[in-house]
Amino acid sequence: MEGLTTVKSSAFPCVSSALSASHSPAKKTSHLTYLPAGSRNLSVRAAANHQATLNPVHRLFSYSPCRRLRAQSKDQIFLPQLVASMEETQQTYIMIKPDGVQRGLVGEIISRFERKGFKLIGLKLFQCPNELAEEHYKDLKSKPFFPKLIKYITSGPVVCMAWEGIGVVASARKLIGATNPLDALPGTIRGDFSLQTGRNVIHGSDSPENGEREIDLWFKEGELCTWTPAHEPWLIE
């Protein structure tokens, strides 16, 4: 027709495929389509992006039977010990050292054990003699700092405590924190209230056996109380 010009654009073939949506096995069909030159790159990029989004999802929800078996084996190894420790009622010896008494930390320390849920069965303010201090720390007698340690423990009154509860020995050690206060985590007694090992505020038994031994060492017969807290049903099933 007059006045009209025909513009011939270049085209490139692009192969596309479609999967049928029926319940029968999927059949792949292919046919040729012609896209303008500018659309070809867009189509390739779109296909690549689509594939990239599928791969992470596939990995995220992939199922590994070996992973499940490993998880089961861990439960079988650790769960019995965990249950046993949770059902064992223990006693531990806790002592607030002279620096803790002098700094007025007695109430704060006792409240931490009470809020945790442990039961106080023995409590006294006591001036420790040299002989008792040496017996208590006899495992450290060969250490060069032993004389200094004995002088420190006997320099003022200490608060002797016996606590009872489920897993109380290990839990008390966590409440107390590392021996070196600079290594103790914030929130622990030593982490919050002390700076040096030689003034680390508090002592706690390091095993159930030592807990019993130290309670017998620091408390006389008749100084421990047997009682049941009113809130115990809200702590123990």
200 is in an annotated binding site: yes
Amino acid at 144: P
CA distance readout (Å), 155 to 129, 130, 135 = 9, 10, 16
The token pair at 157 is 């009154």
Instruction: Report CA torsion sign: 103, 220, 208, 120.
Output: negative
Query: What's the DSSP call for residue 221?
Result: T
Q: What gap in Å lies between CA 184 and CA 191, rounded to an integer?
A: 5
Give the residue among 115, 111, 152, 114 at the shortest CA–CA distance from 130.
152
DSSP helix/strand/coil, 213: helix
Active site (catalytic) residues: 203
Would the annotation count 28 as a binding residue?
no
Q: Crossing angle of helices 106-116/168-176, nearest 10°?
A: 140
Q: Which amino acid is at 181?
A: P
Greatest alpha-carbon span in the chain: 124
Q: Which residues of 41-79 are buried (b: 16+ CB within 10 A; e: fewer)?
A: eeeeeeeeeeeeeeeeeeeeeeeeeeeeeeeeeeeeeee
173 is in an annotated binding site: yes
Is 146 one of the annotated binding-site residues? Answer: no
Annotated binding site for ATP: 97, 145, 173, 179, 190, 200
Annotated binding site: 97, 145, 173, 179, 190, 200
